[in-house]
Amino acid sequence: MGSRLVVVGGGAAGMSAASAARRTDPALEIVVLEASGYAAYGLCGIPYYLAGSVTSADDLVAYPPTFFRDRRRIDLRLHTSVSHIDPERRHVTVSQDGHERRLGYGSLIVTTGGRPVRPPLPGLDDERVFTIRTLEDAISLRCLLDAGRVGSVLVVGGGYIGLEMAEALAERGAAVTVVEAENQVMPNLDSPVAALVEQEVRRRGVDLRLRTMLHGAERIGDQLAVRVGTQRLVVDAVVLATGVRAASSLAADVGAKTDDTGALLVDSAMRTSLPDVFAAGDCVAPHHRVLGRPAFVPLGPAANKMGRVAGIAAAGGSATFPGVVGTAVVKVFDLAVARTGLTLAEALAEGLPAVATDALGKSRAKYYPGSGPVHVRLVHTNDGRLLGAQVVGVGDGVAKRIDVVAVALQAGLSVADLVAADLSYAPPYAPVYEPVLLAAQAADALATQPDSPVAA
């Protein structure tokens, strides 16, 4: 019993943890308990499955359950949930097929992920109201779409998930309304950058309403009457995309320490404050390298990396997770929208003497077909410390441009260092005046003339 590793949750973090544990200790008994009917699925692929560009939900599954069972000797149990951890007696309470029983562990990895925030409003407990957080949710909505029964839809929340959903539903021909309580979309971008995204969303026919709240929904036959702001709309479906919190209660309820957002706190080997209990993925607030403290930034690649470290450490190996810098990219219609590090708003809220420098460049040489605008915002201190970046523009190069700044942040490079970066150039892929370098030059000029007026 002492050598059994139990993993709670079979998503990206959980299956990465189990796989890394297997590589670390070929003899270890490894059990993964997953509440849904799917493991190793890509939540990030759901918008493309709904839009129809991905045919089957099975395509979103990285490996089938048999792969883990047969090839990696991982005892993966689907439709199996965990209701309690007893950290003193080292067992979990497992529910499967209506039966509860106890399962002992030598070490435990909690990868319970995120849970959608559901506004406490009347009428939202309806099968036409969706929170897209599991493949099962997505399959239900896709069935409605395939049946031609979603002519109009309300998306609640203008964050990146809300906008991905808006795009997917618009591509299926639905009339889409998005309501966002704040005065900009994507709260993790600075407002001038978010304005570029809003422009694109509206250009593509989405009815975007800022500073507008949902007040409730009411079923009328096959439709829902919703109250948004001062208006009443009738739609075929509602999608809630009002944020995600760490699903940490299983561990937190028995004493695991959390940050003020409720996400689990861990050390660099992904150990929680409970003995032999590790955690990884969206239920964790990992170390943020720019902030220098834990932060809740639930994103897939970090979930995989944290899972790997937790798996190695829980199996007795040695590994550390050095933290995140908060890099993310999302496709919003024809724009790629990316960020890393801190926004200006985040940096100022942190008390840092931050400014932002914007540059507008091209994705390719101006004469090369398909060249389009790329907007780069660098966030930095007055004396040239790099704090973050936002990049919005056309083409696959945006995602990788943000990665250039992500690596620079990880390495502690200054804006002056970034000016000297030896980045690749060829007319089909970049202009000779690379937008990231244009922004770095402008930021460096600001930093070396600290008395000049600074536009933020």
Contact present, 36 and 135 (Cβ < 8 Å): yes
Site string for its own copies, 2-41 (x = CB under 8 A): ----------x-----------------------------
Residue 237 one-letter amino acid = A
Q: Which of 365, 373, 382, 385 binds its own copies (CB under 8 A)?
A: 365
For residue 59, the minimal CB distance to its own copies (Å) is 4
* 283 carries an active-site annotation: no
Instruction: Retrieve residue 381's tokens.
Output: 């201190």
The nearer residue to its own copies, 82 or 324, going by C-beta atoms, is 324
Strands 29-33 and 80-86, sheet pairing: unpaired
Alpha helices in 177-299 (DSSP H): 191-203, 249-252
Q: Which helix (H) or strand (E) holds 288?
A: strand 287-288
The nearer residue to its own copies, 60 or 145, going by C-beta atoms, is 60
- The reply to whether 243 sits near its own copies by the rule CB under 8 A is no
The nearer residue to its own copies, 127 or 422, going by C-beta atoms, is 422
What is the C-alpha separation between 306 and 312, in angstroms, rounded?
Answer: 10
- The reply to whether 338 sits near its own copies by the rule CB under 8 A is yes
- The reply to whether 170 sits near its own copies by the rule CB under 8 A is no
For residue 240, the minimal CB distance to its own copies (Å) is 21
The nearer residue to its own copies, 184 or 340, going by C-beta atoms, is 340
- The reply to whether 165 sits near its own copies by the rule CB under 8 A is no
Sign of CA dihedral 152, 154, 160, 163: positive
The nearer residue to its own copies, 345 or 416, going by C-beta atoms, is 416
For residue 22, the minimal CB distance to its own copies (Å) is 15
What is the C-alpha separation between 142 and 152, in angstroms, rounded?
Answer: 14
Instruction: Retrieve residue 152's tokens.
Output: 């109009």
Q: Restricting to residues 44-103, which ones interact with its own copies according to CB under 8 A?
A: 44-45, 48, 53-54, 59-60, 62
- The reply to whether 333 sits near its own copies by the rule CB under 8 A is no
What is the C-alpha separation between 169 and 152, in angstroms, rounded?
Answer: 9
Query: Near its own copies by CB under 8 A, which window of 84-92, 322-330, 346-354, 379-387?
Result: 322-330
Alpha helices in 86-211 (DSSP H): 135-146, 160-171, 191-203
Among residues 3, 29, 44, 333, the one annotated as catalytic is: 44
Question: What is the length of the chain?
Answer: 456
- The reply to whether 340 sits near its own copies by the rule CB under 8 A is yes
For residue 130, the minimal CB distance to its own copies (Å) is 20
DSSP calls for 399-455 = HHHHHHHHHHHHHT-BHHHHHT------TTT--SS-HHHHHHHHHHHHHH-TTS---
- The reply to whether 422 sits near its own copies by the rule CB under 8 A is yes
What is the C-alpha separation between 73 and 75, in angstroms, rounded?
Answer: 6
Site string for its own copies, 429-448 (x = CB under 8 A): xx-xxx--------------
Neighbours of 33 (CB within 10 A): 23
The nearer residue to its own copies, 177 or 340, going by C-beta atoms, is 340
- The reply to whether 455 sits near its own copies by the rule CB under 8 A is no
Query: Near its own copies by CB under 8 A, which window of 29-37, 151-159, 168-176, 298-306?
Result: 298-306
Q: Is 198 helix (H, G, I), strand (E, B) or coil?
A: helix
Sign of CA dihedral 406, 410, 414, 417: negative
Q: Is 20 helix (H, G, I), strand (E, B) or coil?
A: helix
Residues that bind its own copies (CB under 8 A): 12, 42, 44-45, 48, 53-54, 59-60, 62, 289, 299-302, 304-305, 321-331, 336, 338, 340, 363, 365, 367-369, 395-404, 406-408, 410-413, 417, 420-430, 432-434
Q: Which residues are catalytic?
A: 44
